[in-house]
Structure formats: C-alpha cells, structure tokens
Amino acid sequence: MVNLEKLCELIQNYYIYNSVGGNLHIVLDDGNLEDHHIEYCLKTLVSEKKDEEAKVIGESLLNIPYDTRKKLYSNSWEYKDPASIKFIRNEL
C-alpha cells in the first residue's frame, strides 16, 4: 500500500495514459468509490487486462476510509491540503 500523497501521484500519472480513468473509470472518473465498485474493477477489468498500475491504485483505495476517498475525488485526486487530512494519514 502507498501513502495518500503517493496514491494521488499514481492516479495523476495513470490519467496521462488513460484520460478517462482507464480500467478504473467507474471509480476514478464517475466517483463510484464504494468497495464493491473498486472490487468489481479489480476482479474483472484490471485482472483481465493485467493492468498493474490500476491494481496498485485499486488496492490502495480499498485500504483507505471511504470518507478519504470522497475527499480525494472531490479534489480531482490531487493531494492539496495535508493539514485537512492529517488525522486520516495517521490511520494508514
């Protein structure tokens, strides 16, 4: 698992080659952040296409609280304000 700053960096880099969220489109682009949506992507799209970047991103998303996912999504997956998520970083 990666820390939040690294996760955001991975997602930003993933978008360079996958402009609409690639194999994690329903999560990254559409905001379906619940576990079952991420698990669906990992079990079907990601594993079938052997998308290792998406696998790391998806597994990392599953390891952070849902509320944190919502904050990161609402910030366009940018790690902007460390102070606002400091309490969450300590949980990782």
The set of residues, in sequence order, having a beta carbon less than 8 Å from that of 6 and lying 6+ positions away, is none
Rg for the chain, CA atoms, rounded: 12
Domain boundaries, the chain: 4-89
The set of residues, in sequence order, having a beta carbon less than 8 Å from that of 16 and lying 6+ positions away, is none
pLDDT tens, position by position, for the chain (92 residues)? 688 989 999 999 999 988 899 999 999 999 999 999 999 999 988 777 888 999 999 999 999 999 999 999 988 888 765 555 544 444 44
